[in-house]
Chains A and B, each alone.
Chain A
Amino acid sequence: MIVTLSKDVMKVVKDQDVVPFRNRVKEYAVKIKMGLVNQTKLITAASELVRNMLKYASGGEILIEIITKGRDNGIRLTFKDKGPGIPDIDLAMKDGFSTGKSLGLGLPGTKRLVSEFDIKTIVGEGTTVRIIKWANG
């Protein structure tokens, strides 16, 4: 069972909000003694997802949580936006696919960087992406 130890909500609506958000994630990761490589992976994944949110949904809200499951501690990030949603989620998860002018590494790349990845989207209503990175995972 996953228990939340502490949580925090941040709004990201413009490009400059990204740096403070990344710093906050780092603070949380340091708090649970996550190693440097895992920290870097988590913050990079967060950076990808927050860009998607800004680009396709003009921003949204992120829930940052310290969670625990048995002996494992981890960080859970929930990105919630009220954007257009993703019509074909399987296609969006493919390497190299992008509707924008990017490399299309964002979603599939992010999934490779974290321990758990979950995406829920409803066209016209928005998208919620939830990732977990365990301190030792």
Chain B
Amino acid sequence: MERIPILRMGHYLLVTIQVELYDRLALSLETDLVQMVNKTSAKGVLIDISAVAIVDSFMGRIIGNIASMSKILDAQTVVVGMQPAVAITLVELGLSLPNVFTALDVQKGMDLLASMIDVEQEDFDDYEDNNS
């Protein structure tokens, strides 16, 4: 079955959706991503949807779910690169994704994630690494 790859980079998980989404694919991404957050203790999730031309109510809901589920597992989610036409359509559809952080591009998204994540925790990790 087709799957969307999830890349790990330090405390972050990166997902770039390069294919057209359909329901089952979006659902498996939700499951995979939440499991990855748990397995890797990731602190931030960045989802790049710049190549996605269509986000309807179901896929919008999945994006919202991923953000809420990750939040419960102590990870922040930022969605980046939404096309203007997709944003217009989503809001007119009635889905404004109030609980999802967004940024215009990957760079701004990573900056936002870095600012949200507890820096002391990272320092502590480094401290542990250096002394073990």
Contact = CB atoms under 8 A, between A and B. Distances in A.
A is bound by B: yes
Interface of A: 15-16, 18-19, 22-23, 26, 36-37, 39-41, 43-44, 47-48, 51, 95, 102-103, 105-106, 108-110, 112-113
6 contacts: A15-B22, A15-B24, A44-B93, A102-B61, A105-B93, A113-B92
A37 B94 contact: no
Contacts of B17: none
Contacts, number: 70
Contacts of B55: 44
Interface in B33-76: 53-58, 61
B88 A40 contact: yes
Contact of B54 (A16, A43, A108, A110): A43
A22 to B, nearest CB: 6
Interface of B: 20, 22-24, 53-58, 61, 83-86, 88-89, 92-95
Nearest to B85: A40
Contacts of A95: 94
A41 B85 CA distance: 8
A18 B94 contact: no
B24 A41 contact: no
The 4 A-B residue pairs with the shortest CB-CB distance in the complex, in nearest-first order: A40-B85, A109-B93, A47-B56, A105-B57
Given A40-B53, A108-B94, A109-B57, 11 more contacts: A15-B22, A19-B22, A22-B54, A40-B85, A41-B85, A41-B92, A44-B93, A103-B95, A112-B92, A113-B89, A113-B92
